[in-house]
Amino acid sequence: MTTCVKIAPMTPASPSSSSPLTGPRVVTLAYDGLCTFEFGVAVEVFGLARPEMGERWYRHATAAIEPGPLRAAGGLTVSASGGLELLKEADLIVVPGWHGIDEPVPVSLIEALRAAHARGARLMSLCSGVAVLAATGLLDGRKATTHWRYADTISQRHPEIHLDPDVLYVDEGLILTAAGSAAGIDLCLHVVRRDFGADAANSVARRLVVPPHREGGQAQFIVKPVPQEREGQRMGPLIDWIEANLQREVTLAEMAARAGMSSRTFQRRFRDLTGHSPGEFLLTRRLRHACDLLERQAALSLDDIATASGFGTPATLRHHFRTRLSTSPAAYRARFGHTGKNG
């Protein structure tokens, strides 16, 4: 039995009947063989009415790239808001995966995406959707990412793309690409942060019950949960202690002693459990704490934040922001810092 899922046109429910939404127009593509998860991510983030965000929230529509009914994974049929004509008004176009990495991309879609990009619309692909953007030629000479299982194929077919299979997402300004399925959530939240600030993104993340922020440069093979076995039980308290002591110097010998192991054994087992060396893990946690302070504590100076996050000096803080996040603490605060409103 097939279920028909009808998507509302580009006038979604608004905070009140007298206050229609006026924010960016987001169009998510639909096609036969639709990747349901990636499509759902885009609709969940950009397509749901969120009265708490005010009138400037996103307006969302679904554009069918071919005549329907369109079948989606799981036996669903999607009834879209319109066709490719919707791309002419879109501020952001989302390609939610592609129904096969070897499937050709229709010329009509390629031309519509090129035209949208030429007038300044943002294009965003999730997972295998990078194949569509690659077909347009708009990724040539740019950095991009995709699910690690498709990376070799895309690189071989499009060597002019600087593909990085080791990151969660890439933001090239008007073109954004996400890695594996769940990384699409991270990229969508990143876009919300860019458009409406950290508080808005954190609010959406809470509704989704996901972490509010993962840096795009974070590896696709993300930190493993600490297992509930004897080894994991030994590491759990140590990780809690690390989180509570980010402001002070933490040495390998001290961590190993707290775990009751030699330094060599500790390094091996910590990597097995978390996917990172102790030093990498500590640096990631310090960066995350510094980002949180930059977002939420406007009164703190860079000296204060460098001290509180364990970097010691603003120079060291800036160095790690440049190498890991490709930005500066000041630029990060300007973009994501708390403003007290969502606009």
Q: Using the structure block, give the residue that is written with the tokens 């040539």.
A: 140
Residue 54 forms part of a structural domain: yes
48 & 164 share domain: yes
Closest by CA position to 316, among listed 279, 332, 307, 325? 307
Looking at residue 343, which CATH number applies to its domain? 1.10.10.60
264 & 168 share domain: no
Dump pLDDT digits (tens) for 138-179.
Answer: 999 999 999 988 999 999 999 999 998 888 899 999 999 999
Q: Could you tell me how many residues make up the chain?
A: 343
Distance between CA 44 and CA 330 in Å, rounded? 31
Strands 76-79 and 70-72: antiparallel
171 & 262 share domain: no
Tell me the H-state helices in the chain: 36-42, 107-118, 130-136, 151-157, 183-196, 198-208, 230-244, 252-259, 263-274, 278-296, 302-308, 314-320, 329-336
Cross-strand pairs, 77: 4, 71
* DSSP-derived 3-state class of residue 104: coil
Q: Which of 173, 208, 243 is the last residue of a domain?
A: 208
Residue 125 forms part of a structural domain: yes
158 & 278 share domain: no
* DSSP-derived 3-state class of residue 336: helix
Dump pLDDT digits (tens) for 19-78.
Answer: 688 899 999 999 998 999 999 999 999 998 888 888 899 999 999 999 878 888 888 888
Name the more confident of 222 and 287.
Answer: 287
Distance between CA 106 and CA 65 in Å, rounded? 8
Residue 217 forms part of a structural domain: no
Closest by CA position to 48, among listed 21, 74, 75, 73? 21
44 & 109 share domain: yes
User: 12: pLDDT confidence band, cut at 50, 70 and 90?
Assistant: very low
173 & 243 share domain: no
Name the more confident of 117 and 73.
Answer: 117
User: 229: pLDDT confidence band, cut at 50, 70 and 90?
Assistant: very low
* DSSP-derived 3-state class of residue 124: strand
User: Using an 8 Å Cβ cutoff, are 231 and 274 in contact?
Assistant: no
Compute and round to an integer the Cα radius of gyration of the chain.
Answer: 22
Looking at residue 86, which CATH number applies to its domain? 3.40.50.880
Q: How many domains does the chain have?
A: 2
Domain range holding 61? Answer: 3-208
Dump pLDDT digits (tens) for 278-309.
Answer: 998 899 889 989 988 998 888 999 999 999 99
Residue 132 has pLDDT above 80, yes or no: yes
Burial class (CB in 10 A: 0-12, 13-18, 19+), 230: exposed
Give the predicted TM-score (pTM) of the model.
Answer: 0.65
Q: How far is CA 65 from the centre of its chain?
A: 25
Residue 11 forms part of a structural domain: yes
268 & 152 share domain: no
